[in-house]
Amino acid sequence: MAGVSTATVSRVLNEPERVSAKTRSRVEAAVAHFDYTPHFGGRALASNRTNTVGAVIPTMENAIFARGLQALQEALAADGVTLVVATSNYDPEREAEQIRVLLGRGVDGLVLIGEARDPALYAMLERRGMPFVLVWSWRPDCPWPCVGFDNRAAARAMAERVLDLGHRHIAMIAGVTRGNDRAAARVEGVRDALAGRGLRLDESNLIETPYHLEAGAQAARRLLADSPRPTAIVCGNDVLAAGALTEVRGLGLKAPADVSVTGFDDIDLAHALDPSLTTVHVPHRRMGQAAAKLLLRLRAQKGETTNVVFETALVERGSLAPPGK
C-alpha cells in the first residue's frame, strides 16, 4: 500500500531516522490503516532477541515481592522490555523448572530472588551466556551480579535493638530456610545479636514456618505457651509478625505490654496493624529499579558487573517496647 519494500517498512519501525520523512509518513499511514503489528516470532527469529526478561519469584500472593516487582516491570518497560513472571512457591526444584520454562520462551535476561541455588544451574546460565541478576539478597562477596541488602546485618540490628530495650527471653518466627538464603540470613543475624549477649536461639524458641498469616499465628501460639513466656518475638517478615500479633490478641495478651513483636520488610500492612509494627524497612522499589538497570546493562554487554547494596532502616512503631511495659 505504501509502495515500498518490506525492508523500508522494517526501517521505519526500527530506525525511523534512516528513512526520508515522505516515505516514512506513507508507511506510517499504511501501518495505521491496517493496524499492523510486527510479528513477534519473525522478529525474534531474525534478530535473535525477544526484548523479554523473566523473573522467578516465590509467590505473587505475598505483598513482599509485589512492590519490587512492579518497579522492576516499570523500569524495564521504559526500555521496551517486557517482564514475564513465574513463581516457584519457595521450592528450589520448581524454581529450576520455571527457569527452564523461561529460557524456552526465549527471554534474554533473568531476575532471580536470592542466591541459594544449585551450582549446576548457575553453570548452565553462564554456559548459555544468559544475563541474570540476583535480587533481595546481598553479601560482601557474592560472586554473581546482585542487587539487594544485607539480610543478616539488618536482622542483627533489629535483634540488637530488642536486646537494648532490655529483652532477654527472645523467640523468633522465621521463614523456611531451606533454599532460602534471605530467611537463613535473618536467622543468623538474630543469632549474631543474641550471641553478643551470651544468649542463644534453640529449638524451643525458634520456629521455621511458611510465610502466611495463619502460620505466623500458629507459631506464636506455640512460642507463647512456653513458660516463662518470651517477652519479644522477632519475626522473619511482616506477614508472620501480623499473624503473631493477631494470635497475641487472640490469647488475651497485649502487645507490646505482654509481648513485643517485630517484623521485616515494612509492607503497607505494617502500619495498618494495631499496634503498628516495628519492622525493618526495605527499599523494594529502588531495588527493583536498580535490578532493571543492571540487567539491561548486562544484556547490552556493557562490561563489568557492579553489585548494588541498599541500606535498610529500622522503623520503630508501636509493637516493640521494653519488657513488662
Summarize as ranges the residues that interact with DNA (CB under 7 A). Answer: 3-11, 13-14, 18-20, 22-24, 37-39, 41-43, 45-48
Residue 126 as a binder of a copy of itself (CB under 8 A): the answer is no
CB of 12 to DNA, least distance (A): 8
Nearest CB to DNA, comparing residues 16 and 196: 16
CA 140 – CA 100 distance, rounded (Å) = 29
DSSP bridge partners of 253: none
Which of the choices a copy of itself, DNA, none does residue 312 contact, using the CB cut-off of 5 to 8 A by kind?
none
Nearest CB to DNA, comparing residues 23 and 70: 23
Residue 299 as a binder of a copy of itself (CB under 8 A): the answer is no
3-state secondary structure of 234: strand
Residue in this structure with the C-alpha cell 536486646, named with its chain if needed: 163
Which of the choices a copy of itself, DNA, none does residue 124 contact, using the CB cut-off of 5 to 8 A by kind?
a copy of itself
CA 272 – CA 58 distance, rounded (Å) = 24
Of 30-38, 176-184, 193-201, 225-233, which segment contacts a copy of itself by CB under 8 A? 30-38
Residue 50 as a binder of a copy of itself (CB under 8 A): the answer is yes
CB of 192 to a copy of itself, least distance (A): 29
CB of 100 to DNA, least distance (A): 14
Q: Which of 116, 261, 241, 277 is nearest to 181 (CA)?
A: 116
Distances (CA, A) of 222 to 201, 218, 233, 244, 279: 15, 6, 12, 10, 22
In contact, 236 and 263? CB cutoff 8 Å: no
CA 11 – CA 16 distance, rounded (Å) = 6
Nearest CB to a copy of itself, comparing residues 39 and 197: 39
Which of the choices a copy of itself, DNA, none does residue 204 contact, using the CB cut-off of 5 to 8 A by kind?
none
Burial 106-141 (b: 16+ CB within 10 A, else e): bbbbbbbbbbbbeeebbeebeeeebbbbbbbbbbee
CA 42 – CA 29 distance, rounded (Å) = 22
In the chain, the DSSP E strands lie at 52-57, 82-87, 110-113, 132-135, 146-149, 170-174, 206-208, 232-235, 260-262, 279-281, 308-310, 313-315
Residue 17 as a binder of a copy of itself (CB under 8 A): the answer is no
Q: Indicate which single residue of 2, 4, 30, 124 sits in contact with a copy of itself (rule: CB under 8 A).
A: 124
Nearest CB to a copy of itself, comparing residues 104 and 198: 104
Residues forming contacts to a copy of itself in the complex (CB under 8 A) are 35, 37-46, 48, 50, 52, 59-63, 66-67, 69-70, 73-74, 77, 82-87, 100-101, 103-106, 124, 127-128, 212-213, 239, 242-243, 245-246, 249, 268-269, 271-274
